[in-house]
Structure 1
Amino acid sequence: MAPTTATEARPARKARPARAKKPEGQWKIDGTTPLNRDEEVKQEDPAMDVRRRVIDVYSKQGFAAIPEDDVLKRFKWLGIYTQRRQDLGGELTGQLENYELSDHYFMMRVRFDGGLASPARLRAVGEISRDYARSTADFTDRQNIQLHWIRIEDVPTIWEKLESVGLTTLMGCGDVPRVILGSPVAGVAVDEVIDATPAIEEIQRDYLPREDIKNLPRKFKTAISGNSRQDVTHEVQDVAFIGSEHPEHGPGFEVLVGGGLSTNPMLAQSLGAWVPLEKVPEVWYGVVSIFRDYGYRRLRNRARLKFLVAEWGVEKFRQVLEGEYLGYQLEDGPRQPINPGNRDHIGIHPQRDGRFYLGVKPTVGHTTGEQLIAIADVAERFGIERIRTTADKELIFLDVEREQLGPLAAALDEVGLYSNPSEFRRGIISCTGLEFCKLAHVTTKARAIELVDDLEDRLGDLDVPLKIALNGCPNACARTQVSDIGLKGQTVTDADGNRVEGFQVHLGGSMSLDPNFGRKLKGHKVIADELGDYVVRVVNNYKRERNDGEQFREWVQRADEEALK
C-alpha cells in the first residue's frame, strides 16, 4: 500500500460561506426600510411638509424653535441651508459637526429653471437681497441666484415676493430633481438644432409636483439644450438631453446619463438613443424613477446615479428604462460630436428674427441687490423683457435691436457687468467658499475676484480660452476637474511651518476638447497668497512653449512637469 502523503492526511478545509453583500438600500431590491438617519428622516415626515411649519411656527418663534432634523435636513427641500458661522476658520472643517459649524442665518437658493429671467424677476430678487440678505446675490453655475444672511423670520415674506413674479426656492436643494438647466438662448439662436423649451415647461408643470419624486437617494441634476454650442455642461449631469439631428427623423435629442464630479468624477455616457421633443419629459421621468427605485441609499457618498450607471453599464440601464419604465424601445441615434469652441454666449450674437442677443459677465457671478435692481432698470430703459442666466454665470439680454447694441453694452458696463471681458474674467468660476459654506477649507469668491484683477494687470489678456476654477473643498461645485486650471482648496503648510489656506492644482481638464479630467500634479500645492504668481508663471510658460493653434489644455498634456509648477 502506498504511503499516505502529508497532503492526503490533512483533513479537507470546509469552504467558508460567501460573505453576504450588504444591502445598498435599493428600494426595488432591498425594500424601503431606512438604512441611515437621512433616510429615516425622509420617511418619518415628508420634507415638503416643513414649509407649513416655517410659515406658522418657526417664522414667529425664531431660530431656536427649529428642531435639528428640520433645520439641518428637511429645510434643504425648501431651498435653504444654514450658512457657516463667521468665526470658524477652514481648519475646523471636518473637525466639527454640521450643527456646530452652522450659523443662525440661511443661504437661500432661488430657482431659475431654463435660466428664464426678466427685469421684474431680477428687480424682485434685488429688492429681497437689499432688504433681507445684506445685499448678497450670486449667480450660480446652475442658473440660479443665491442669497445669504436670511433670517427665518423673513422667509414667508420672501416667498410671497418671489411667488409674485413666478419664482420659488422649493426643491432648490435636497434629495429631489434640482433646477433644470436649459440653453439661455433657446428659441432665438441661429445655431440651434431644436428649441427644448416645451420639454422643460412640461417637466415643471406636470412632473416636478409629483410626490413620488420628492424622496430620491440624493440630488438629481438635469440639463436640456437643443443648442449646437452644447451650453449646459451635459457631461457632468445625472441626465442630459442635447440637440441631435437624426438622419431619418430630423431634430431631436441624444440622451446621456451618469455624469457627476465631486470626489469620484465620471463623465455622462450616451444611451445611444434619439428622443423626439415630445418624448423628452417621459424619458426624463423614467430616468428619475430608476434612480428612485434602484439608486443606492445606504451610503450618502454613493447615492448618486453615476454609481448605478457605472455598475450596470449603459446597455443594461437602457434596457431597464425601456422595459420597466417606458414600455417601448427608444430609437437608436447618432452620437453628437463634441463642440470644441466656447460654449458661453458672451458678446453680440444674431437671432433668427434679425435682432440680436448680448451676453455679459458679472465677475465670478457676484452681484449685489442694488446691482440687480440697476440691471433691471437698464433692461426696462431699453425695452428688454427677456433676460437669461447661464451655466457659466453670465447674463444674456435677448431681442436687442442693432442700433441699441452699443448703448446697451455701455449701460451694462456702467453697472458693473462686462460686455467685452478678458479671457481671464470670462473663464473664471468659483464656489461659495469659506465665507458661507460649511464644507469649505478656503476663501474662494473674493480670492477669484482678486486673481482676475491681478492677471489682467500683469498679463493683460490671452488669445485663447482659459477656464480657471476655484473650489473650497473636494466636492467640485466649481467644476475643478474639467477646467484648464482647477484649484481645490485645502489647508497647507507654508515655508515657516504655519497652516494656511492653499490649493491643490489640477490642470488641463476639459469638456469641449476631448472630455477628460486633466492632470493632477502630485504633491504640488500652492499657498493662497502666492496664487497669482503661480498662474502668471504657468500661463507665461504656456505662451513661450506652445505650438501654433495649441490650446492650453493640449499643451498641459505634453508639458514637462517643471513647466507646470
Structure 2
Amino acid sequence: MYRYDDYDQRLVDERVAQFRDQTRRYLAGELSEDEFRPLRLQNGLYVQRHAPMLRIAVPYGLFSSAQLRTLADIARRYDRGYGHFTTRQNIQFNWPELAKVPEILAQLATVQMHAIQTSGNCIRNITSDAFAGVAADELIDPRPWCEILRQWSSFHPEFAHLPRKFKFAVNGAKEDRAVIQAHDIGLDVVKNDAGEIGFRVLVGGGLGRTPIIGEEIAAFVPWQHIVTYCESILRVYNLHGRRDNKYKARIKILVKALGIEEFRRQVEAEWAFHKNGPSTLTEAEVARVAAHFVDPAYESLPATDAGYASLLDENKPFAAWVKRNVRAHKVPGYASVTISLKKTGVPPGDITESQMELVADLADAYSYGEVRATHQQNLVLADVRQSDLFKVWQSLRDAGLATPNIGLLTDIISCPGGDYCALANAKSIPIANAIQERFDNLDYLYDIGEIELNISGCMNACGHHHVGHIGVLGVDKNGEEWYQVTIGGDQGNKAAIGKVIGPSFAAAEMPDVVTHLIETYIANRHEDERFVDTVRRIGIEPFKAHVYGNRQTEKKVAHA
C-alpha cells in the first residue's frame, strides 16, 4: 500500500496544526459558526443530531493493521467504543468531543491518515474494488491509478470549491465492484487492441434526489492523459455547474441539461488546451506510485489444500461461511475473506474497538498486515492461505464477525439515518434491524439466494437505496417517519435505478413488506434466477399487487 513521503507527511501535519488553531479560536468565540463551518468541513467534521461526527478517509478502502489499531484506540479514547464504515469505504466516529478533534487528527497523522476532503464541495475519497490486486477476474490493478488521482485531487486549489461534492470510482476487473456508473466520474481501466492501457470514462452518474446512470464520454483515454482529461471535465463543470440551487448543482444535472454530445464537445475543447500540460503523466511517475502496490511474497501452494478440503466436508458451519464469505484469489492456494459487519441486531457497518483490534491481529497473522473496506460496509482480508481459513473463521466467529450472509438479504447497506444524521427524514438502523430479525434464518436466506437490500434515511442516498434490488427510502409525512420502497435496482455491470412500487409504508410495516416481496419472487422465479432478474422479467406489477393486497388484508384483520 502507499506510504507517505516527507511531502505528504508535511501537508497533513500542517493541516492538523491549522485546524487546532481554528478550533481554539472558534471555542474562544473568535470565529463565528458561519466562519468555522467551512473550516471544519474541510477537515471531515460534521455537526450531527446529537454530537459532532468525524469522517476519516480510507483511500480506495485500503489500510494497514497499524492504522486499524489506531482507529480502535480513537474509538476507545474519544468515542463510545465503536466506528461506522460507510459506503465510500471511509470510517466515521459519531461521538467525538469538538475540543478533542484536533487531538484525533494529530494521532491519525502519526499513521498516515487524515480526514481531509471527506466532506465539502470538493473531490471526495476515491473508491475502488475492495478486491483490487487479488481478484481472479481482474484485468488491470486499479490501485496505482486511484493513488495518482488521490494525490492529484488532494488540496487541488482549483477544485476546492466546486458547485457540489464530487465523487470518483475506479474499476479494473471484468465485474464492476465499484459501481462506477453511479458516480460523477467513473473510470474503467482497460486495454485497447494494441495492448495499451487507458481508461473508459463515464460521467454524470449519481444517486441522491435525482438518480442517474452515468454515460460514456470517452471510450479510451490513454493513461498519460487521464488526469488532464478529468481536469477538463471538472473545469467545464466548475464553469457551468449551478451554484444557486444545491439540488441542481451536481454534474449529472449539467450533463443532462447540455446532453452528452454537447458536454463532450466542451470537454474536448477544454482538453485541447491542457492535454500535454503539467498534469500529463510520465512513465517514471506511474512507476513510482505503482511500486507501492507490488504483490506480497506469496508461497507456492497447491490449488486446493487437503486439510482445508477435509474441514469443508466435516464442518457445516465453516462450509456455509466459506460459501458466502470467501472469494477466489488470483494465486492458487489463497483466498479473500469478507468479514461481515452485518450481525443481526448490530447497525450495519458498525464495529467495536475490540473487533478492530482482532481484525488487525488477523491481518498481521494471515494477510500481510492489510485490511480493505468495501462499499457494502464490510471488511476484507485479501490474502489468506486456504490452510489458514479455518483458524480465521474460528477467531471471527468468537468475535461475532463470522455471519455467513455476504450477498444475502441480511447483508444490508444502511446509512446511520435519523439516529445520528441531522439531514435524515427517518431512522434507518431500526428498519435494518427489524428486517434482519425477520429473516434471521440462514437456511431460508440461502433458499432466497443473492439479494441486495439498501436503506437510506433521506434523499441524499448515502445508503445507495436506488441501486438496491430492494431499496428503502425514509420520507417525512406530516412529521412522521414513512418509507418508500423501490425494486429492480442493481449495481455492477448492469447498473440500474429501482422503480417505486407505490405509496410509502409505516416503519412497523417494513418487515411485512419485504416478506411479501420475497414471497412474490419465490412464487415467480425460474431456477437459479436472482430476485432482480425476476423483477426484470415480470416487472413490478406482480410485486406491487401482492404487497398492497396483503397490506389491505392485514389492516382489516388489525381493525377486526
Q: TM-score, normalised by structure 2?
A: 0.79
- 1:70 partner letter: E
Q: Of the candidates 365, 380, 393, which is equivalent to residue 377 of structure 2?
A: 393
Deviates more, 1:145-154 or 1:66-75: 66-75
Q: Of the candidates 472, 475, 493, which is equivalent to residue 490 of structure 1?
A: 475
Checking the alignment, whether the CA contact within 8 Å between 1:124 and 1:162 is kept in structure 2 is yes
Correspondence for 1:268: 214
Correspondence for 2:531: 552
1 CA distance for matches of 2:140 and 2:198? 7
- Say whether residues 1:480 and 2:459 are aligned partners: no
Q: Of the candidates 90, 96, 105, which is equivalent to residue 144 of structure 1?
A: 90
Greater helix share, structure number:
2
Correspondence for 1:447: 431
- 2:419 partner letter: E
The Cα shift of 1:512 comes to: 4.0
- Say whether residues 1:283 and 2:237 are aligned partners: no
Correspondence for 2:354: 370
Correspondence for 1:502: 482
The Cα shift of 1:73 comes to: 3.8
2 CA distance for matches of 1:60 and 1:73? 14
The Cα shift of 1:302 comes to: 1.1
Question: Which of structures 1 and 2 has the bigger CA Rg?
Answer: 1
- 2:339 partner letter: V
1 CA distance for matches of 2:330 and 2:393? 17
2 CA distance for matches of 1:208 and 1:54? 17
- Cα shift readout 1:286-310 (whole Å, capped 9, x = no counterpart): 2222222222212111111111111
Correspondence for 1:36: none
Q: Of the candidates 226, 230, 237, which is equivalent to residue 176 of structure 2?
A: 230
- Cα shift readout 1:8-51 (whole Å, capped 9, x = no counterpart): xxxxxxxxxxxxxxxxxxxxxxxxxxxxxxxxxxxxxxxx9996
1 CA distance for matches of 2:191 and 2:530? 29
Checking the alignment, whether the CA contact within 8 Å between 1:345 and 1:396 is kept in structure 2 is no
- Say whether residues 1:528 and 2:507 are aligned partners: yes
2 CA distance for matches of 1:408 and 1:53? 42
Correspondence for 2:455: 470
Q: Of the candidates 529, 539, 546, which is equivalent to residue 563 of structure 1?
A: 546
1 CA distance for matches of 2:354 and 2:98? 22
- Say whether residues 1:199 and 2:164 are aligned partners: no
- 1:315 partner letter: E
The Cα shift of 1:77 comes to: 1.4
The Cα shift of 1:447 comes to: 3.0
- Cα shift readout 1:263-305 (whole Å, capped 9, x = no counterpart): 1111100114212334333322322222222222121111111
2 CA distance for matches of 1:288 and 1:475? 22
- 1:124 partner letter: T
Correspondence for 1:384: 368
Structure 1 residues 460 and 558, CA gap change in structure 2 (3 angstroms): closer
Structure 1 residues 296 and 249, CA gap change in structure 2 (3 angstroms): farther
Checking the alignment, whether the CA contact within 8 Å between 1:358 and 1:398 is kept in structure 2 is yes
% same residue: 27
Q: Residues 142-541 of structure 1: matches in 2 within 5 Å?
A: 142-327=88-273, 346-352=325-331, 355-363=334-342, 364-382=348-366, 384-418=368-402, 420-421=404-405, 423-424=407-408, 427-457=411-441, 459-492=444-477, 500-512=480-492, 514-523=494-503, 525-541=504-520
2 CA distance for matches of 1:510 and 1:322? 31
Structure 1 stretches lacking a partner, 5+ long: 1-47, 86-104, 331-343, 494-498
Checking the alignment, whether the CA contact within 8 Å between 1:269 and 1:314 is kept in structure 2 is yes
2 CA distance for matches of 1:503 and 1:207? 37
Correspondence for 1:76: 41
- 1:532 partner letter: P
Structure 1 residues 262 and 481, CA gap change in structure 2 (3 angstroms): same
The Cα shift of 1:60 comes to: 7.5
Checking the alignment, whether the CA contact within 8 Å between 1:119 and 1:376 is kept in structure 2 is yes
Give the number of aligned pairs. 480
- 2:181 partner letter: E
Checking the alignment, whether the CA contact within 8 Å between 1:58 and 1:65 is kept in structure 2 is no
